[in-house]
Amino acid sequence: MPPNPSRATIVATILAAGKGTRMRSRLVKVLHPFLGRPMVLHLVDAAFRAGVDRVVSVVGHQAAEVESAVAGAFRGWNLGFAHQTEQRGTGHAVASALSELGDAGTVLVIYGDTPLLRSQTLAQLLTAHRKEGHAMTVATFRAADPTGYGRIVRDASGDRILRIVEHADATPEERQINEVNAGICAIRRDLLEPALARLEPHNKQGELYLTDVVELLATSGEHVAAYTIADPVEASGINTRAQLATLEEIALQRMRLTWMDRGVSMQDPGSIRIDAEVDIGEDTLLGPNVQLLGKTRIGHGCRIDAGALLDGCELGDFVHIKAYSVAAGSRLATGAEIGPFAHLRPGTELGEKAKVGNFVETKMAKIAAHAKASHLSYLGDCEIGRDVNIGAGTITCNYDGVDKHKTIIEDEVFIGSDTQLVAPVRVGRRATIGAGTTVTRDVPEGSLVVTRSEARTILGYYDRHRLPRLEKKRAQRAAAKAERAASIAAATPETNADKEGT
Ligand code: UD1
Ligand code: CA
């Protein structure tokens, strides 16, 4: 083992094997989304950003799901996974990771349920740990309410930590201590292994506590130091859904301020939701209640109006999303415009300055530059060329009850209102489709197609047909009303007027 830990590899272990019973969920706690991303990924991300060389996740409950979430999000990074089949405590969890530590000189232990932890804090902890050459450095903070946390017991000088006593095992005097263990520590690997081997479950919970390593090291003369985290919120763990909601709101508040600092304007910022992986360009304006989710990327100078929801979308510059539009998995080029009340489903691509108006639904639709579908349409499994005009009420009939088929509309086509395009079908360049047409066969370039039947005109129809029927109906209604009034009068024995008369 290298004696000088400052030159050795740093490996982070993230403890994520627990079930998270207090979440009362079928989903393991560390996979619950936090700002749109499984909680545990925030910590893997923070560890790599802090400069660790490798991240080993300790998995147990729903191990396969946790492992694939981490592996999927950090493809190409130096990852390891350790399986802790039985959760016998945090010390046991770290011990399960030993075989995955490689040539680590320093081990950074992080708990998987503290998603607000910042990479800067981890980096500072590591710097302090390596500069001083301590055996172990424990992140601590002053808790307003230390209940549930391990208490930090220091020596007389206050310089060293002697031991950490868990809440359940603490005496009433020890419970008065408000300096607590944040659940993050850096430790020399050569000291960690033998210390873990000596842990014993002699405590209220019958577990192997990682925190007992402190006392084992201190009594053998090693220096265990504290690194104080200034903002206790950062170290807060999530155990319940209420805590998740509270911490997420704190994280959202930070997120909004970050984007405003980077040149994004917001109306009623408190109502706006921005997920962790979203990117927004300068001079973009977000209206009230906007939700930007997943890996949504937005260019500069865009306008996203009230109530719009974008999930996993890519927007160029100067795109305008009008109020209450919903778009998922879609790409919108510069100057495109949708809504109000547009619905873009996955696979939608809008070219430059293309326009999709109110009550238009699209799915797997490639709509080229300057094309317009301004009102009330369903456009699915289709390719629409440049400068095409899609009239109100146009429907691509893409599903025959068994299979989906494609509709291709070439450049400069004009589609009249209330058209059905029965796929598979191709409408050639510059063709015109008359309003109310059902297109079932390919349309040649430059032609006009209409399937309208000849209209018949019958003069005097109102006087001869509608009026006599209306009069008959009015007479029937009047007779029924008179009959009801008569039967009510017969059923009422005495009126108030009669009483007053006596
Ligand atoms: C732990 C600390 C406590 C500290 C607090 C900070 C110990 C003994 N106690 O207490 O000093 O103040 O965190 O939040 O370390 N885990 C496993 N395998 C296990 C047990 C736990 O992977 O066998 C994981 C859990 O999934 C969780 C993390 O370790 O992510 C912490 O475990 P938890 O039981 O929540 O510890 P606390 O009681 O909160
Ligand atoms: Ca905890």
Pocket test for ligand 1, best of 32, 70, 90 (most atoms within 8 A of CB): 90
Whether 115 lines ligand 1, by a CB cut-off of 6 Å, is no
The rounded distance, in Å, linking the Cα atoms of 475 and 199 is 97
Same domain, 195 and 318: no
Amino acid (one-letter) located at 98? L
Whether 101 lines ligand 1, by a CB cut-off of 6 Å, is no
Q: What is the CATH number of the domain that holds 331?
A: 2.160.10.10
Question: How confident is residue 496, by pLDDT bands cut at 50, 70 and 90?
Answer: low
pLDDT for the residue numbered 501: 47
* Count of helices and strands (H, E) across the chain: 11, 37
Q: Is residue 496 part of a domain?
A: no
HSE, side-chain direction, 13 A CA sphere, residue 190: 12
Question: How confident is residue 5, by pLDDT bands cut at 50, 70 and 90?
Answer: very low
**Quick check: 4 pLDDT over 90?**
no
Whether 164 lines ligand 1, by a CB cut-off of 6 Å, is yes
pLDDT for the residue numbered 337: 98
pLDDT for the residue numbered 3: 40
Distance from residue 304's CA to the centre of ligand 2 (Å): 39
Mean pLDDT of 441-446: 98
The rounded distance, in Å, linking the Cα atoms of 347 and 340 is 20
pLDDT for the residue numbered 385: 98
Residues 6+ apart with CB under 8 A from 469: none
Same domain, 349 and 406: yes
375 assigned to active site: yes
Residue where one domain finishes, among candidates 218, 235, 252: 235
Amino acid (one-letter) located at 284? T
Q: What pTM was estimated for this model as a whole?
A: 0.87
Q: Whose CA is nearest to atom 25 of ligand 1?
A: 18
Q: What is the CATH number of the domain that holds 139?
A: 3.90.550.10
Q: Is residue 245 part of a domain?
A: no
What ligand has the least distance to the C-alpha of 29?
1
Which residues are close to ligand 2, an ion, with C-beta < 5 A? 237
Q: What percent of the chain has pLDDT over 70?
A: 97
pLDDT for the residue numbered 497: 55
Mean pLDDT of 346-352: 98
Same domain, 373 and 425: yes
Same domain, 112 and 224: yes
62, 87 Cβ separation under 8 angstroms: no
The rounded distance, in Å, linking the Cα atoms of 272 and 252 is 9
Nearest atom of ligand 1 to the alpha carbon of 205: 8
Please tell me which residue in 320, 375, 405, 465 is annotated as part of the active site: 375
The closest of 350, 342, 340 to 388, measured between CA atoms, is 350
pLDDT for the residue numbered 499: 52
Structure confidence by residue, pLDDT tens digits, 98-151: 999 999 999 999 999 999 999 999 999 999 999 988 999 999 999 999 998 999
Q: Whose CA is nearest to atom 24 of ligand 1?
A: 15
Distance from residue 387's CA to the centre of ligand 2 (Å): 58
Whether 150 lines ligand 1, by a CB cut-off of 6 Å, is yes
Q: Is residue 480 part of a domain?
A: no
Same domain, 413 and 280: yes
What ligand has the least distance to the C-alpha of 166?
1
The rounded distance, in Å, linking the Cα atoms of 7 and 279 is 36
pLDDT for the residue numbered 120: 96
Question: Nearest 5 degrees, angle CA 111-CA 116-CA 118?
Answer: 90
Same domain, 227 and 360: no
Q: Is residue 48 part of a domain?
A: yes
Mean pLDDT of 165-194: 96
pLDDT for the residue numbered 6: 45
Alpha-carbon torsion (218, 222, 223, 224), positive or negative: negative
Q: Is residue 501 part of a domain?
A: no
Same domain, 168 and 58: yes
Whether 95 lines ligand 1, by a CB cut-off of 6 Å, is no
Q: Across 195-261, where does the E strand assignment appear?
A: 224-228
pLDDT for the residue numbered 166: 96
Distance from residue 158's CA to the centre of ligand 1 (Å): 25
Structure confidence by residue, pLDDT tens digits, 48-84: 999 999 999 999 999 999 999 999 999 999 999 999 9
Structure confidence by residue, pLDDT tens digits, 245-275: 999 999 999 999 999 999 999 999 999 999 9
Residues of the domain holding 270: 264-449
H helix or E strand, kind and range, residue 71: helix 63-73
410, 404 Cβ separation under 8 angstroms: no
Average pLDDT, the chain: 95
363, 350 Cβ separation under 8 angstroms: no
Question: How confident is residue 495, by pLDDT bands cut at 50, 70 and 90?
Answer: low
Residues in the chain: 502
Structure confidence by residue, pLDDT tens digits, 297-340: 999 999 999 999 999 999 999 999 999 999 999 999 999 999 99
**Quick check: 155 pLDDT over 70?**
yes
pLDDT for the residue numbered 71: 98
Burial class (CB in 10 A: 0-12, 13-18, 19+), 322: buried
pLDDT for the residue numbered 455: 84
Same domain, 101 and 210: yes
Residues 6+ apart with CB under 8 A from 458: none
Question: How confident is residue 453, by pLDDT bands cut at 50, 70 and 90?
Answer: confident
**Quick check: 398 pLDDT over 90?**
yes
pLDDT for the residue numbered 454: 83
283, 263 Cβ separation under 8 angstroms: yes
Whether 210 lines ligand 1, by a CB cut-off of 6 Å, is yes
Same domain, 278 and 131: no
What ligand has the least distance to the C-alpha of 149?
1
Report the Cα 21 to chain-centroid distance in Å. Answer: 23
Question: How confident is residue 502, by pLDDT bands cut at 50, 70 and 90?
Answer: very low
Distance from residue 20's CA to the centre of ligand 2 (Å): 9
Q: Is residue 254 part of a domain?
A: no
Same domain, 206 and 316: no
226, 127 Cβ separation under 8 angstroms: no
Tally of domains in the chain: 2
Structure confidence by residue, pLDDT tens digits, 355-375: 999 999 999 999 999 999 999
**Quick check: 17 pLDDT over 60?**
yes
Amino acid (one-letter) located at 219? T
Q: Is residue 483 part of a domain?
A: no
Mean pLDDT of 389-403: 95
What ligand has the least distance to the C-alpha of 148?
1
Distance from residue 171's CA to the centre of ligand 2 (Å): 20
Nearest atom of ligand 1 to the alpha carbon of 19: 26
Nearest atom of ligand 1 to the alpha carbon of 18: 26
Round to the nearest angstrom and report the end-to-end CA distance of the chain. Answer: 116
Question: How confident is residue 494, by pLDDT bands cut at 50, 70 and 90?
Answer: low
Same domain, 209 and 306: no
376, 393 Cβ separation under 8 angstroms: yes
Q: Is residue 335 part of a domain?
A: yes
Same domain, 201 and 313: no
Residue 53 DSSP symbol: S
